[in-house]
Structure 1
Amino acid sequence: MKNKPRILSTKILSQALSDKIHDSGFDLVQIDFIDIVKMKAQKKIDNQAVMISSKNAANFLDLNGRDIFCVGQKTKFAIEANDVQVSKVFSDSQEMALYVASKYKTATFICGMRRMNRVQEVFQEMEVELQIIEAYDTLLTPSAVPGYLSKVLFFSPSGVESFFLDNSFDGTAICIGNTTRSEVLKYIKDADVSNSTTIESVVEKALETRI
């Protein structure tokens, strides 16, 4: 009997998504390749415009009364779970930075210690003042995964870095967005991107083809 193709998720999925993958004829391996740790000291937000690129930063500071801009629907849901309205949602951090820098004279970016430099670069190029608040740290938790993997699901640049510390891969990479894809392309030649920046969309993209 031919072995089922194997999918690795670089984060633990919900039971419903796990069942969906199994029901589609795949074996599934799930490992958390990163761990999120809240920073003990928090700065005060100085500006009206606040940008958040990850749901990991959504619960650490008081966002009431601010103009909130974020990346992805999951981040939006996490912010609005605290009774805070999001002004606009973007597909990636560069798009968000370009919009906010064109509308405000100053802004605050709430992020992790490990991050891409796209937001800072946009604000520097447009000569707009930017306050950076590092609300959490991302710890890499690499793990070697034996055996062949047909597809790997990636949800953050840090997860990509952690995976490739102990693994090589020549199957199909499915990424939650273009920022994550850019990190994957440091290690392999090509990668697919989900249709939207949600975990569900990454899984759906992976299930479009069996091989």
Structure 2
Amino acid sequence: MATPIFRDVCRTLKSVICLQRQLVSTRAVCMHNLRASSKSQRRTLSSDVGSSKVADSSQSVTMETDITDYTEDIPEQIPEEKPTFDPELLDSLVLQQQMQADLPLTEMESPYKKPRRRCVLCKYNVDLDYKNTQLLSQFTSPYTGRIYGRHITGLCIPMQRRISQLIQRSRKAGFMPFLLKETVYLNDPKLFDPFKPGNQKKYH
């Protein structure tokens, strides 16, 4: 438990050190730009003083000395600030990680959640067609030709409705008989047992 917590703390400290280095670099860039702008101002002022005939030599000397004094105040190179190690910050981060590890997992999926029940046609993504009489005959009674209900077939509501529509369409087109089942399909493997329905309702 302590190993991943220590790794997380080390990662946070590394990120803090990187941020401090970025701040130092941005500060150095700003000071460099300020120094360059002051140099450009000094050049423009010196050129104006040299070109003007009215300006006295004493004024030009004082102006140049003021500019040099202003530029001398700007440091040449800012020393890099080294990050300091704070043991109190480390202890607080470790304590925070331990507290988060002890909190309950709210986003965890329930282990008692039942899997979604799917019918055999939805599970295998069967392509239905009214000309596939071998498949459609599985859902009709071999004795009366009646279409089995959902409590026997175990299909979902959309698939049960689709099967009923396709059987009626196939019968109207002349592919399937109305009152019986073709003898060719009597020995086919059954998808369900009509005498032992799986979705049988219990009445008290």
The two structures have a TM-score, normalised by structure 1, of: 0.18
Q: Give the structure with higher Rg (CA).
A: 2
More strand by share: 1
- Larger helix proportion of the pair: 2
TM-score, reference length from structure 2: 0.18
Which of structures 1 and 2 has the larger relative contact order (alpha carbons within 8 angstroms, sep 6+)?
Answer: 1
